[in-house]
Amino acid sequence: DVRLVESGGDLVQPGRSLTLSCSASGFDFAKNAVTWVRQAPGAGLEWVGLIRSNTYGATTEYATSVKGRFTFSRDDSKSVAYLQMDSLRTEDTAVYYCSSIRYFEQWGQGTRVTVSS
């Protein structure tokens, strides 16, 4: 079965850091970009960014709201993508989804991040 599973969501204080993981199975993870999308409570979808496959240098793109604070990476040997979030703000509170295969064909179930003092 094709699967993506996010993990690492937690309650953190503003200004702190957190790293999310997106574990893939059932498809050729190394050949696919990984996209991150978040959804604040009661709000719409927000594109966070993506990391391309290593074929394209694992280059990254970020939303303006997270650029300079969030960093994507990937470990194809483990079929895992990471989202490192630094200098967290209360407005980063959301469910974070990863998706892959033609960017959006497969989604994880999401992991919740709450930024609060």
Q: Which residues bind another protein (CB under 8 A)?
A: 37, 44-47, 49, 61-64, 97, 102-105, 107-110
Of residues 12 and 93, the one with the C-beta less far from another protein: 93
Task: Name which of 1 and 117 has its Cβ closer to another protein.
Answer: 1
Query: Tokens 């009661």 identify what position?
Result: 42
- Nearest-angstrom CA–CA distance, 49 and 18: 16
Which one-letter DSSP state was computed for residue 105? S
Q: How far is the CB of 6 from another protein (least distance, A)?
A: 11
Query: Closest distance between another protein and the C-beta of residue 13, in Å?
Result: 27
| Complex with another protein: residue 29 or 36, whichever CB lies closer | 36
The CB density around residue 14, as the number of other CB atoms within 10 Å, is 13
Q: How far is the CB of 77 from another protein (least distance, A)?
A: 27
- The structure tokens listed for 14 are 């503003």
- Secondary structure percentages of the chain, helix, strand, coil, to 5: 10, 50, 45
